[in-house]
Copies of this chain bind each other. A is one copy, B any other.
Amino acid sequence: MNVSYQQAAEFLLQSDDFVILCHQNPDGDTLGSGYALWNALTNLGKRAVIRCSDPVPHKLRHVTAGYREEPFEPKTVVSVDIADEQLFGEGISEYLSKVDLAVDHHASHAFFAKRVLLEPDAAANCEIICQLIRELGAPFTPQIAACLYTGMATDTGCFKFSNTTPRTHRLAAEMMEAGCDYAAISRAIFDAKSAGEFAIEREALNSLEVHFGGKAALIVLTQDMYRRCGVTEAEADGLSGLPRKLEGVEVGIAIKERGPGEYKISMRSAEYVNVSELCRVFGGGGHLRAAGCSINGTLDEVKTLILGAVGRVLEETV
């Protein structure tokens, strides 16, 4: 059942002993939503805990400031920024089919909860949480502002993606006025890099190859490079977007060694190549402009296979 902001707020005000669920592999929007709501409910004198299948990434740890847990028997389950129960993950599977209120902004929302507060035009779920907290009559503390700013900034790629709206900017302005340290938050989530991340980026740039008259670019990341730079595969994952940033590149390819003779390939396209289809040839898939697949073989074999497929598609679409 779809509910309005007022109905969602009334439900929260009448309930207590909350479990707030965030999606697996959590990003700034699900965590910002969850921790903002935790702060708002706690400030209203209610009890709440947050549950997520995976830990809070290092760059987002500021959203957890002030968080604490007391033991209590959960009575009310709220999910934030979760489009589908498949995104619960193992760690919170006990709450499957038990969500009392889902707050979400995905157009693909699967309506798994008793009540759904859905606004698919919101750039970030945190925009909805912002309005919901206003409706609850809870004060916008600096910590709540920090959580909500984090979600809005991350889900819009720092206000750059085409989902950003004038409302996103105006709410960001309000969060700044509510006292969040947006500059420190932005540095942490967008700019700050460890020495290892700098080192692996340099190595990735050194591996950059350009093919097909500049229409494709490729980098290689190996286990040796991760070891040498002291980074995890997850920390290096953002580099998958690097080859497509080269001007004129339609297909950006990152070949990432998983183990001996095992490679994961990430592909990004700029404007017209369907990389999801391209990756399906190798048993993979994904989105139109961002997809992946796995191939076993030597690095040279993998490169030849991938470049062959990319070359054919680029030729067809010229």
| Partner-B contacts on A (CB < 8 A) | 158-162, 164-167, 169-170, 172-174, 176-177, 182-184, 186-187, 190-195, 198, 201-202, 205-206, 208, 210, 214, 241, 244-247, 270-271
A184 cross-chain contacts in B, Cβ below 8 A: 271
Q: Closest 9 A-B residue pairs measured CB to CB?
A: A166-B173, A160-B186, A162-B183, A169-B173, A202-B205, A169-B169, A191-B245, A192-B247, A169-B172
In the complex, what's the smallest C-beta–C-beta distance from A275 to chain B, in angstroms?
14
Q: Which of B165, B176, B191 lies in contact with A166, CB distance below 8 A?
A: B176
Distance between Cα atoms of A158 and B156 in the complex (Å): 12
Q: How far is the CA of A15 from the CA of B174 in the complex (A)?
A: 39
B158 contacts A159, C-beta separation under 8 Å: yes
| B-side contacts of A167, CB under 8 Å | 173
**19 A-B pairs (CB sep. < 8 Å):** A158-B159, A159-B186, A160-B182, A160-B187, A161-B183, A164-B176, A167-B173, A169-B172, A170-B170, A187-B245, A191-B244, A191-B245, A192-B246, A194-B246, A194-B247, A195-B247, A198-B205, A198-B245, A205-B205
- Separation in Å of the A21 CB from the closest CB of chain B? 29
